[in-house]
């Protein structure tokens, strides 16, 4: 039965039947849009991002790539005329961020038994999902319009970088990357430059105030302001030079 359809036609007798999806548990799978090569390319793009260590995309060595279908509980609810979709993991998570998976409705198809080879078996029962919605979201059973088990395609990567092994997951439908622990960009040099820069400009900003007392009132403020502008421009040169040097190194 296609997702979103309210009626099902019997393939034997042709009878059209209304299906109460709030009681039935349907089973779907998301079509992958990335093959193995594109999945690896998505991982490399993520490695080259701003959060990861410099040159991670170049220096990391991918040790394994495994295709899997991860189970998610998809629950549609309707409260006050507004429909909401809730996605909850149907199995234990190796990476907690995987709970943020998205399910593109256009790529959802009925589950086929030929996918069993790649599918991870669900370990979270549907009753647990109903209880979770009631206790944590305060959603009554009567507000549930549909519950479905959806298997989402992912690539599990194991990669090696500077003496450590890491795991990352790539959503084979959207290209989104999930990783709990990964080589992060070294932030200390950036924080140090920012702190010193703020301190230097704070001290420089006191020049007009000091000039007010040292020189003759308002005219002293004018002199101090001119001095401050010159100092600010002079400070910008070494700060930007240091930032550029750190950026190249880290």
Q: Where are the domains of the chain?
A: 21-178, 188-249
Res 37: pLDDT: 95
Question: Per-residue pLDDT for 24 more than 80?
Answer: no
Bridge-based pairing state of the strands 16-18 and 82-89 = unpaired
Residue 221 vs residue 28, higher pLDDT: 28
Question: Per-residue pLDDT for 1 more than 60?
Answer: no
Residue 175 vs residue 212, higher pLDDT: 175
d(CA 227, CA 236): 14
| Average pLDDT for 215-231 | 74
110's enclosing H/E stretch is: strand 108-110
Question: Per-residue pLDDT for 33 more than 80?
Answer: yes
Bridge-based pairing state of the strands 25-30 and 144-161 = parallel
pLDDT in tens, 78-87: 888 888 888 8
Tell me the average pLDDT of the chain.
82
Alpha helices (H) along the chain: 36-47, 56-59, 126-136, 188-205, 207-214, 217-249
pLDDT in tens, 94-137: 787 887 788 887 889 999 999 999 999 999 998 898 898 888 88
| Average pLDDT for 221-225 | 75
Res 17: pLDDT: 52
**Please, which residues bridge with residue 164 across strands?**
161
**Please, which residues bridge with residue 75 across strands?**
86, 147
Res 13: pLDDT: 60
- Residue 14: left (phi > 0), alpha (psi -120 to 50), or beta? left
């Amino acid at each position: 039965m296609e997702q979103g359809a309210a009626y099902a036609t019997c393939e034997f007798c042709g009878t059209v039947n209304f299906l109460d999806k709030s009681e039935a548990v349907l089973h779907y799978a998301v079509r992958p849009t990335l093959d193995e090569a594109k999945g690896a390319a998505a991982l490399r793009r993520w490695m080259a991002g701003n959060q990861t260590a410099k040159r991670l995309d170049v220096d990391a060595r991918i040790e394994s790539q495994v295709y899997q279908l991860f189970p998610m509980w998809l629950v549609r609810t309707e409260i006050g005329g507004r429909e909401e979709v809730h996605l909850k993991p149907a199995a234990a998570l190796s990476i907690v961020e995987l709970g943020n998976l998205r399910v593109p409705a256009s790529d959802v198809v009925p589950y086929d038994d030929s996918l069993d080879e790649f599918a991870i078996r669900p370990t979270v029962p549907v009753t647990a999902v109903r209880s979770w919605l009631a206790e944590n979201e305060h959603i009554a059973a009567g507000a549930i319009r549909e519950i479905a088990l959806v298997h989402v395609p992912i690539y599990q990567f194991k990669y090696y970088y500077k003496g450590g092994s890491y795991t990352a997951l790539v959503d084979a439908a959207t290209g989104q990357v999930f990783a709990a622990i990964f080589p992060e960009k070294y932030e200390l040099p950036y924080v140090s430059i920012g702190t010193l820069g703020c301190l230097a400009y704070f001290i420089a900003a006191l020049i007009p105030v000091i000039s007010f007392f040292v020189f003759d009132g308002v005219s002293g403020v004018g002199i101090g302001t001119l001095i401050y502008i010159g100092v600010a421009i002079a400070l910008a040169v070494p700060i930007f030079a240091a930032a550029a040097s750190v950026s190249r190194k880290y």
